[in-house]
Amino acid sequence: MNSFGKVLTLTTFGESHGSCIGGVLDGFPAGVCIDLDEVQQFVSYRAPACNPLGTRRNEPDTVNFLSGLLADNTTTGAPIAFIIHNKDANSHAYEALKKLFRPAHADYTYFAKYNIEPQPGGGRASARETAVRCVAGGIVRQWLKQRGVYIYPYISQVGPITLPYPLADMQQLTRVYDFASRCPIAEYDRKISKAIEQVRTEGDSLGGTISCLVKGVPAGVGEPLYDKLSARLAYAMLSVNAVKGFEVGDGFAMATMRGSEANDPMFIDEATQSVTFATNHTGGILGGISTGQDLFFRVAFKPTPTVAKKQNTITCNNEQTTIQALGRHDPAVVIRAVPVVEAMAALVIADLILQQKNL
């Protein structure tokens, strides 16, 4: 339950208000020089201290590497272990909540499974754990770039504000992290930022959608049946906190189409003599295996469950009560999840590539 992947594996540990969180990335190839400053920069895109639209928790998320790297930061092939110290945990803020189940959190289900009272900040169930995924993803994405694979996630919806079309402009896609909303269109960045600040003042929250375009994945990546590329991506994304939906290509919209509309006609490009497609309704995956087209998928996030409005709930002793959460939380957790989606996509694609002996 704490490990992800088959050939390339990530094991994570730590809790929201513990001394640290951390992970071990195993199975990563030897001889790859890693830019640790780039890894740290990627982690900062998720860090709560680095986005004005996020929580007020001030965590710099400085990564400390413990093993798996030579003095020049070249990988040895051994497990890459690392930790991130929690600098701004405030467990006292949760004293009044330790006997209560916060609505839409994992407090109740963890209690039902482990018989442990709610832990500060959600403990292991906290989205704090996703910082570890970003460290691993920050390493793996560098290896993928060397192989010509590039991942471009972006915010395509927050609450009722939705982009009217998928993004394909590379100038926009490469600047996603320059925008606080992670939506690289200035008009929509302003609209989303305004909506988030408004809902913050109301003590409420918003959900949203992250779209992701992946370029450069060769045809043939993915395993038949139970290890399909689409299945592994869905498994990865649904493991991220607050994710409630996943679709590849045109996804649920394909249920309204006819086969003649949904199929992607195939051709041979006369100039390159390579296989090409007229459309990409399937999102670059057929039979669970990559077609060589761009991968495209969407991930839907629920609104942040911690809100300042009064709600009904129960205690650990089955007593009816109310709760009004105060303190630090993201008014739209989807914003800081953009690098998490990128990290998980990188881990899935790299793991499947490493499973392919002929790629």
pLDDT tens for the chain, 359 residues: list them: 899 999 999 999 999 888 899 999 999 999 999 999 999 999 999 987 677 887 766 788 999 999 999 999 999 999 999 999 998 765 555 666 778 899 999 999 999 999 998 887 788 899 999 999 999 999 999 999 999 999 999 999 999 999 999 999 999 999 999 999 999 999 999 999 999 999 999 999 999 999 999 999 999 999 999 999 999 999 999 999 999 999 999 999 999 999 999 999 999 999 989 999 999 999 999 999 999 999 999 999 999 998 988 999 999 999 999 988 765 688 999 999 999 999 999 999 999 999 986 55
Handedness of CA 53, 54, 55, 59 (dihedral sign): negative
Amino acid at 218: P
Residue 357: the pLDDT is 66
Residue 222 and residue 289 in contact, taking contact as beta carbons nearer than 8 Å: yes
pTM exceeds cut of 0.85: yes
Residue 268 β-bridge partners = 275
Q: What is the C-alpha separation between 46 and 44, in angstroms, rounded?
A: 5
Residue 208: the pLDDT is 98
Element (H, E) at 84: strand 80-85
| Alpha carbon distances (Å) from 180 to 51, 190, 304 | 6, 9, 18
Residue 75 and residue 32 in contact, taking contact as beta carbons nearer than 8 Å: yes
Residue 184 and residue 173 in contact, taking contact as beta carbons nearer than 8 Å: yes
| Alpha carbon distances (Å) from 342 to 128, 130, 279, 281, 337 | 16, 11, 24, 21, 9
Residue 344: the pLDDT is 98
Q: What is the C-alpha separation between 314 and 102, in angstroms, rounded?
A: 8
Residue 337, SS3 per DSSP: coil
Please report where in the chains the tokens 């192989």 appear, as a residue.
Answer: 147
